[in-house]
Homo-oligomer: A and B are copies of this chain.
C-alpha cells in the first residue's frame, strides 16, 4: 500500500492520567492514522469519504462513456448516506439482496432491484409491503418463484418487474440457456401482475486479473448473445440487460447489449480488488482502525482487528493473509482469531509497541462492513459515526 492522502502522523501523546506511572510517550510515527481518529475505541471501521465520492465519480464517468446506467448494489455499504453519495453522483436506482436492504433503501430511491430470487412467503410479504411509490424489480430463475411472486403481487394489488436471471458461467443461479429464458419470459408476460423488464446476469466467476479476462469474458458474451437472440426471435426483446461485477467493471461494455451495471464493491474497494488490478491502493476507501494489543510473542504484533472486524475470508485472488496494512506494504494480517489479528514482522523494520495504531484494508470489504454497527466517516479532518442501517435482517 502506498502512503494514503491521510499522510503520516507523528503522534506525540501525553497520558493525562494523574497516576505516578504516567509518562509522556512518543509513539513510532504511524503512517495513515490521522489525529482525528486517535480517541476512538478500536477496532472500528473508517471511511475516507473523499475517496468514496471519487470512486462514485469514476464509475459514473465510465458508465456515461459507454451509455450504461449504474444501479449499484448496496450490499457493500448498507448505508443510507453512502447510497445518497451514489445517487447524487448519478446512480440510477439501487440494487439490494435482502428485504431489509429494500426497506431501508426505499427511503432514498423509488427504483429498487432485488437481485435475488424472491422465494418464501415471509420474504414476499415484506417485499409486497414496500411503499407503493417504489418501482420494484426482482430477478428470478424458476417457475415456482415466478408463480408465487405473481400471486403475491396480485394479492397486494401491485405490479412487479421481473428480470429473468441467466447463468453466464458462474453456475450459481440463473437459467441455463435460451429456451429456458424464453419460457420464463413468456410466463412473466402471461402474469397480469408482472412486467417483463429484461435479463440479468452476474459474471462473478470472472475474477482473473483484469488483463487476463478475455477468454472468460468472450465465453460469457457468447452465452449472453444466444439468450438475447432467442428472446428477440420470440418477440421478447429485453428492455434492460443488467450485469456487472466489480472485478469486471471496466470491461462491462464488452458484454453485448448490456444496459446497466450493478457493481457494488467499487464504491469502497478492498485488497481483493487491488490484487486483481481493478483499482489502485489509493482507491480503497474503507479500513479497519486497530490497536496493537500484544507484542509478547517475538517476531509478531497482535492487533484487535480479528475475524469479527475484518472477516476471515481468504483472498479470492492469489495471496496470503486477511488484510493489508496502510503504510506498511511489506506486511499483512497473517492470521485471525475472533478478536485478534496477527502481523508477522519478518522483513519489516516496523517496531510496533503496545498501544500503536494501524489501519487495515480487508480482503473483502462487503463482509467486513456487515460486521459493523457503525462506520466512522472521515472527511475534512473530522470523523462522524454513520450507521449501517441495512445491516441485519429485522
- Which residues of A are at the interface with B, using a C-beta cutoff of 8 A? 15, 17-19, 21-22, 39-44, 75, 97-99, 116-117, 119-123, 126, 141-142, 144-145, 147-148, 150-152, 154-155, 165, 167, 171-176, 180, 191, 204, 291-298, 300, 302, 304, 307-308, 311-314, 337-340, 342, 353-355, 366-367, 370-374, 392-394
Contacts and interface: CB of A to CB of B under 8 A. Distances in A.
12 contacts: A44-B393, A116-B293, A116-B304, A142-B294, A142-B296, A171-B300, A173-B296, A175-B296, A176-B296, A180-B296, A311-B312, A314-B314
Contacts of A371: 370-371
Given A39-B121, A338-B370, 6 more contacts: A41-B120, A43-B393, A119-B355, A142-B295, A307-B367, A371-B371
B17 A97 contact: no
A183 to B, nearest CB: 12
Q: What 10 pairs between A and B have smallest CB-CB spacing?
A: A41-B122, A19-B151, A17-B151, A144-B354, A173-B294, A373-B392, A141-B296, A117-B293, A119-B293, A21-B147
B355 A144 contact: yes
A191 to B, nearest CB: 8
B338 A366 contact: yes
B373 A297 contact: no
Contact of A151 (B15, B145, B150): B15
Contacts of A308: 367, 370
Contacts of A293: 116-117, 119-120, 145, 173
Contacts of A297: 167, 171-174, 176
Contacts of A18: 151, 154-155
Contacts of A174: 294, 296-297
A236 B116 CA distance: 61
Most buried by B among A151, A293, A372: A293
Residue in A41, A150, A366 whose Cβ sees the most chain B Cβ within 10 Å? A41
A338 B40 contact: no
A41 B393 contact: yes
Residue from the set A165, A307, A372 with the largest chain B CB neighbour count within 10 Å: A307
Interface centre among A39, A120, A144 (most CB of B within 10 A): A120
A172 to B, nearest CB: 6
Residue from A176, A304, A308 whose CB has the most chain B CB atoms within 10 Å: A308
Contacts of A355: 119-120, 144, 148
Contacts of A314: 314
A144 B353 contact: yes
Contacts of A374: 394
A294 B141 contact: yes
Contacts of A41: 99, 120, 122-123, 126, 393
Contacts of A313: 307, 312
Given A122-B39, A291-B119, A338 B367 contact: yes
A296 B142 CA distance: 7
Nearest to A299: B171
Contacts of A372: 392-393
Contacts of A312: 311-313, 367
Nearest to A43: B393
A135 to B, nearest CB: 21
